[in-house]
């Protein structure tokens, strides 16, 4: 019998890999039933990481969002999984142990089934508590290995790490290929060896599409024994996000694997809804360059999930760098030049900083050091003139053991700054803190919330939670949105919007075009205009000529595609349906004359 490959939809990560903000809870509730209707997803990534923090940033309660977002999937029997960063849990810096422990209890109570835990340094000491806390809370403990490429990161390195994680009690192993730079054959060898050693352990593969390896990687890991593959959906697939379910499903089916059927009508509706969220306000915060794949990412290894913030940082620093270049009689750089320069500087800096896997938060630390180096050099100063506190904590071992060796100049720089290296348990310097936060809640007359979820939120994101409670967060976001809208000067068009078509009755059309003939749908289904059946924003052009017998467009039915045939020669004079519209049999789609 053919091996079954199951799919997980990364609806959370799709947004995080594309821009700054995520859908509101009302939008998430709107699309959940449609995702379920596609019929092909066994799992959906619903929460965790930056996702919940962003809820606070625009004044929305993340606890309400997680509960209402996971509920329909739980009811439908689709597993939900979250992403957490081990020692850093849901934020960018270390979290006290009692707060980490509470997180898993809260998330389980809110409807999250699987805890995907990763340590950006692959330090088993950071992952062990996450595995134990998740299992104690009744969650499936999925331990993720941060995949990267370099001399330190061999097949044996990852298989040995997987052995430790299974020993700690991990139910599943995830290969988290956050930058998509894991070479396909390399990833296949890792999966094959883990499956040989731990045949009952479920393996899930997560790979971003940025540098272009991901499709081949997904085929390799499937052949090697992987059980689940993470995918995305248009209009937020590919680019720095993830490959699209349509492509990966078709590839694996052709390769002989058993895969679930895909309801194309539901897929197109989910695609349409996602586009409406983009058009509503989220598109203002999506950088168009994140829709592009780039081989430059092969060298620097930066992950897709941080591309939105990286481009924002570059724009913010662009003028300062050019000002420094002008002052030093050097040639200014374009933003594109600066992107390439940053990629190259990351590639230079990374091994000197001990080869931390470039995943949150360590990708941000390495990027910050590289970006500051570019500014220093533009000012005529040496590299590493200043290193921020968080990056120093990484270098000094306060967040875990670096996989590689530090460069001698970095060690010397630490000595010059009278900084000490730390080799103890990374959790030890961060004492329990829940009681202090509980006291703050009582003093403010704030409710701890169901299952202590509000207490958890304050303890996890204290500054953002205070801003949320005071209303400052919502006020700040609305001001930011107003500014970007004013700057745009028109409704956002980051992804091409659906073209709405005015409807006219046949009588009015024939007043202008006496010979106009209706083109009718041959079946009930969903309209797909042939010009670009992968793009919901594409509509046919008035005046396009068709020959008798030529397909005008297609209707996606439950049994397949039905062509809509032109019954006579003519040009389109009126369009009655948009891409993705649902139509009944014999419904008028367009008029030819």
What's the pLDDT tens digit per position in 382-425? 999 989 888 999 999 999 999 999 999 999 999 999 999 999 99
Q: Per-residue pLDDT for 542 more than 80?
A: no
Q: Per-residue pLDDT for 441 more than 60?
A: yes
Interacting residues of 536 by C-beta distance below 8 A, sequence separation 6+ = 234, 235, 268, 271, 272, 275, 498, 579, 580
| Candidate from 34-38, 209-213, 385-389, 559-563 with smallest mean pLDDT | 559-563
DSSP per residue, 83-145: EE-GGGTTSSS---HHHHHHHHHHHHHHT--EEEEE-TT--HHHHHHHHHHHHHTT-EEEEEE
The pLDDT of residue 307: 62
Closest CA to 304 of 214, 416, 426, 169: 214
> Could you give the CA distance from residue 244 to residue 488 in angstroms, rounded to a whole number?
30
Instruction: Read off φ and ψ for residue 326, nearest 5 degrees.
Output: -60, -45
The pLDDT of residue 374: 92
For residue 520, count other CB atoms closer than 10 A to its CB: 16
Work out the mean pLDDT of the chain and round it to a whole number: 89
* Tokens, residue 96: 């006290």
Q: Per-residue pLDDT for 530 more than 60?
A: no
Q: How confident is the model at residue 511 (pLDDT cuts 50, 70, 90)?
A: low
Torsion angle of alpha carbons 548, 553, 558, 559, nearest 10°? 40
Total-model pTM: 0.78
Which has more pLDDT, 63 or 16?
63
Q: Per-residue pLDDT for 71 more than 50?
A: yes
Closest CA to 66 of 125, 11, 147, 146: 11
Place of tokens 């990852």: 158
The pLDDT of residue 500: 39
The pLDDT of residue 137: 98
- Which part of the chain has CATH 3.20.20.70? 6-279
> Could you give the CA distance from residue 217 to residue 223 in angstroms, rounded to a whole number?
10
The pLDDT of residue 507: 53
Q: How confident is the model at residue 497 (pLDDT cuts 50, 70, 90)?
A: very low
Taking residues 537-543, report their average pLDDT.
58
Q: Per-residue pLDDT for 494 more than 90?
A: no
Residues in the chain: 593
3-state DSSP call for residue 86?
A: helix
The pLDDT of residue 502: 41
Place of tokens 């919940």: 52
Q: How confident is the model at residue 537 (pLDDT cuts 50, 70, 90)?
A: very low
Q: What CATH number has the domain spanning 6-279? A: 3.20.20.70
Q: Per-residue pLDDT for 467 more than 80?
A: yes
- Which part of the chain has CATH 2.40.50.100? 506-592
Q: How confident is the model at residue 318 (pLDDT cuts 50, 70, 90)?
A: confident
Instruction: Read off φ and ψ for residue 523, nearest 5 degrees.
Output: -160, 165
> Could you give the CA distance from residue 292 to residue 313 in angstroms, rounded to a whole number?
18
What's the pLDDT tens digit per position in 102-142? 999 999 999 999 999 999 999 999 999 999 999 999 999 99
Q: Per-residue pLDDT for 251 more than 90?
A: yes
The partner residues of 207 in beta bridges, in order of sequence, read 177
Q: Per-residue pLDDT for 559 more than 70?
A: no
The architecture (CATH level 2) of 506-592 comes to Beta Barrel (2.40)
| Contact by Cβ (8 Å): 385, 376 | yes
> Could you give the CA distance from residue 398 to residue 401 in angstroms, rounded to a whole number?
8
Taking residues 543-548, report their average pLDDT.
80
The pLDDT of residue 541: 64
The pLDDT of residue 475: 93
């Amino acid at each position: 019998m053919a091996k079954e490959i199951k799919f997980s939809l990364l609806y959370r990560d799709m947004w995080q890999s594309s821009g700054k903000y995520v859908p509101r809870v009302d939008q998430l509730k709107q699309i959940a039933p449609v995702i379920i209707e596609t019929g092909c997803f066994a799992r959906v990534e619903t929460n965790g990481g930056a996702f919940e923090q962003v809820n606070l940033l625009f004044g929305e309660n993340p606890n309400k969002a997680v509960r209402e977002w996971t509920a329909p999937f739980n009811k439908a029997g689709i597993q939900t999984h979250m992403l957490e960063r081990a020692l850093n849990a849901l934020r960018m810096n270390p979290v006290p142990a009692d707060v980490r422990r509470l997180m898993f209890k809260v998330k389980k109570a809110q409807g999250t089934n699987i805890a995907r835990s990763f340590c950006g340094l692959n330090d088993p000491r950071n992952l062990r508590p996450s595995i134990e806390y998740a299992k104690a809370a009744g969650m499936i403990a999925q331990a993720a290995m941060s995949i990267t490429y370099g001399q330190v990161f061999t097949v044996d390195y990852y298989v040995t790490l997987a052995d430790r994680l299974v020993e700690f009690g991990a139910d599943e192993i995830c290969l988290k290929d956050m930058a998509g730079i894991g070479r396909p054959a390399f990833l296949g060898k890792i999966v094959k060896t883990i499956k040989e050693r731990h045949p009952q352990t479920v393996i899930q593969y997560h790979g971003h599409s940025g540098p272009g390896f991901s499709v081949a990687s997904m085929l390799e890991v499937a052949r090697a024994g992987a059980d689940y593959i993470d995918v995305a959906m248009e209009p937020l697939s590919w680019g720095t996000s993830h490959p699209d379910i349509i492509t990966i499903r078709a590839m694996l089916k052709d390769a002989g694997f058993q895969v679930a059927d895909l309801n194309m009508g539901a897929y197109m509706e989910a695609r349409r809804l996602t586009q409406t969220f983009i058009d509503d306000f989220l598109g203002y915060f999506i950088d168009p360059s994140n829709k592009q794949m780039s081989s430059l990412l092969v060298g620097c290894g930066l992950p897709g999930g941080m591309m939105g913030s990286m481009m924002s940082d570059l724009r913010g620093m662009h003028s300062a760098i050019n000002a420094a270049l002008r002052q030093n009689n050097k040639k200014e750089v374009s933003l594109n030049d600066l992107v390439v320069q940053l990629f190259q500087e990351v590639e230079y800096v990374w091994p000197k900083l001990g080869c931390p896997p470039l995943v949150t938060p360590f990708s941000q630390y390495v990027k910050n050091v590289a970006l500051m180096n570019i500014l220093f050099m533009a000012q005529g100063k040496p590299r590493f003139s200043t290193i921020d506190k968080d990056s120093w904590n990484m270098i000094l071992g306060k967040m875990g053991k670096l996989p590689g060796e530090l460069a001698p100049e970095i060690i010397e720089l630490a000595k010059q700054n009278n900084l000490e290296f730390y080799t103890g348990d990374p959790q030890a310097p961060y004492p329990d803190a829940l009681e202090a936060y509980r006291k703050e809640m009582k003093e403010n007359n704030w409710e701890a919330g169901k299952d202590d979820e509000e207490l958890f939120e304050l303890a996890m994101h204290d500054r953002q939670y205070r801003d949320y409670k005071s209303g400052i967060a919502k006020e700040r976001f609305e001001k930011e949105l107003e500014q970007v809208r004013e700057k745009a000067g028109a409704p956002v068009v980051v992804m091409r919007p659906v073209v709405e078509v005015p409807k006219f009755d046949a009588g009015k059309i024939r007043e202008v075009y006496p010979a106009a003939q209706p083109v009718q749908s041959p079946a009930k289904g969903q309209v797909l205009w042939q010009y670009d059946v992968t793009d919901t924003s594409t509509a046919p052009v008035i005046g396009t000529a068709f020959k008798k017998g030529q397909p005008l467009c297609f209707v996606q039915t439950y049994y397949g595609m039905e062509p809509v045939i032109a019954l006579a020669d003519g040009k389109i004079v009126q369009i009655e349906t948009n891409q993705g519209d649902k139509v009944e049999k014999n419904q008028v789609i367009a008029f030819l004359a």
